[in-house]
Amino acid sequence: MNKINKRERFKRLAEYRTNEVLKRLKVLGNCSNRSAYNYLEDDINKIFTEIEKRVREVRSKFNFPKDKKFKL
């Protein structure tokens, strides 16, 4: 698979998957309706702490390693 095909495949999948995540976040936001749901601030903190943790984990997979020289 050449570089252009890999780039196009990445763009297609990344756009689709990003849009799916954004849709699901919007659906999660529907849980904020106080007339339909009862929740505590602690519940919300747990949800967003976990989401932020996962975002950091996934983002770290995309970091490009710096060329570091080996040292003891």
Tokens of 15: 């756009």
Instruction: State the total domains in the chain.
Output: 1
Tell me which residue range forms the domain holding 56.
3-61
Query: Is residue 33 situated within a structural domain?
Result: yes
* The predicted structure's pLDDT at residue 55: 97
Query: Is residue 19 situated within a structural domain?
Result: yes
| Model pTM score | 0.78
* The predicted structure's pLDDT at residue 68: 75
**How far apart are the C-alpha atoms of 12 and 34, rounded to whole Å?**
37
Tokens of 45: 């903190």
Query: Is residue 70 situated within a structural domain?
Result: no
**How far apart are the C-alpha atoms of 72 and 65, rounded to whole Å?**
19
Nearest to 62 by CA among 12, 10, 25: 10
Per-chain mean pLDDT for the chain: 93
What is the torsional sign of CA 39, 44, 50, 51? positive
Query: Is residue 25 situated within a structural domain?
Result: yes
Average pLDDT over residues 46-60: 97
